[in-house]
Amino acid sequence: MRGLSTCLLFLGLTRAADVYLNPPELLPAHLSPHQASQVLAAHLGLDRFEQMSKQSAKLDHIFTERDFVASGNQNALLLLVDERYARDVLPPTLLPNFSFNEPSEDYLSAFLKMCTRRATHVFSHIFASRSVSTQGVPRALDIFSAPTPVNEAFLGEISTLTDYIDAHVDRFAGLHITSIPRLAVSYGRESELYLLATRAVRGAVEAALSDRSVRFALLTYTSSSAQKRAPQLSQQSPNPATVQQTSTRLPKVCYASEYACLNGTNACFGHGSCLSTTTQAGECFVCSCETTKSESGQTQIWVGDMCERQDVSSPFILLVGTVTTLFLLMGGSISLLYSIGSQGFPSILTGGTAGALRKE
């Protein structure tokens, strides 16, 4: 039984996700999931939250070249699309930049949410999918006026893309395009609704590609019931190992895969990333917490096995040390003043004064 689970997990982990970038990056054709995360973070302007590892160090020259040529305000757009429908919404001239092994659609959804949370610390405006009523839709899309869930989902996604493209502020949008597969299932890929929807999404993508201030990234995923069962096996049996580490405090759970770590820690609560570590039990994944800044500019240090709380030990130690020092200074000053006030005059001064009085 364990062998079967291992085989299913291996099959689930070997599915490739294609990544489309604009402007394109000079990269190897295939990357590891951790390298892909590093590249996407750098491409979208979120690399301040990433930590370099031995794997990402191999691509250090790429990041250096990118930082050298980057200039001006940059915006970012991250899309997630089912690979079966990707070519229907992408311009034919846009080709995959690289691919990487991904466990499931859930893994990429968690990655999308993590990027959106991190973008709130970098960009002024964040665009996310919103609910749009089928009443009062634009004339060009009045065919979607029927109040059905799939129509409302499409109108919400295309409205978000349109609002993003029309905005003139530094901005980020992370969007999972789910309405296109649902329209294909509901009406068919040859239906007028599906063709109009794909043309609308493709037009939005082309508008984003023509805007030089927008750094564009699109990830595809494989969606099928058989392939979804493999990540669920790893999620139900992540094989957390209680291991010993000599250099750092031991986390309570060390996950068997990056997907299990992201899922089990809610993507490290958006305050860190899942990194691999080597223990006596082998390789596993734990949260590596980050340091962020609040809206008021204060530094926030996140700690915990899931980066779920702030570290207040340093401010507390500083406060206690300052108060203790003040008390010691006050006590020393009072003691010094008391000793000076109680000390008598020297005898030579007292004798001299007395002699002078008797002579008179």
Taking 90 as the threshold, does the pLDDT of residue 200 lie above it?
Answer: yes
Taking 90 as the threshold, does the pLDDT of residue 150 lie above it?
Answer: no
Tell which wins on pLDDT, 114 or 5.
Answer: 114
pLDDT attached to residue 9: 41
Q: What is the mean pLDDT of residues 58-85?
A: 68
Taking 70 as the threshold, does the pLDDT of residue 251 lie above it?
Answer: no
Average pLDDT of the residues of the chain: 75
297: left (phi over 0), alpha (psi -120 to 50) or beta: left
pLDDT attached to residue 52: 56
Taking 80 as the threshold, does the pLDDT of residue 24 lie above it?
Answer: yes
Per-residue DSSP letter, 271: S
Taking 50 as the threshold, does the pLDDT of residue 242 lie above it?
Answer: no
Q: Give the residues across from 274 on adjacent strands.
A: 287
Tell which wins on pLDDT, 300 or 123.
Answer: 123
Tell which wins on pLDDT, 278 or 135.
Answer: 278
pLDDT attached to residue 110: 84
Q: Which long-range contacts (CB under 8 A, 24 or more apart) does 298-305 make?
A: 302/269, 302/271, 302/272, 305/251, 305/252, 305/253, 305/265
User: Would you place residue 2 in the very low, low, confident or very high pLDDT band (cuts 50, 70, 90)?
Assistant: very low
Q: What is the mean pLDDT of residues 92-114?
A: 83
pLDDT attached to residue 207: 94
Tell which wins on pLDDT, 13 or 45.
Answer: 45
Taking 50 as the threshold, does the pLDDT of residue 21 lie above it?
Answer: yes
Contacts of 171 (CB under 8 A, 6+ apart): 75, 76, 123, 124, 125, 126, 127, 164
Identify which of 68-77, 228-237, 266-275 has the greatest average pLDDT.
Answer: 266-275
pLDDT attached to residue 351: 58
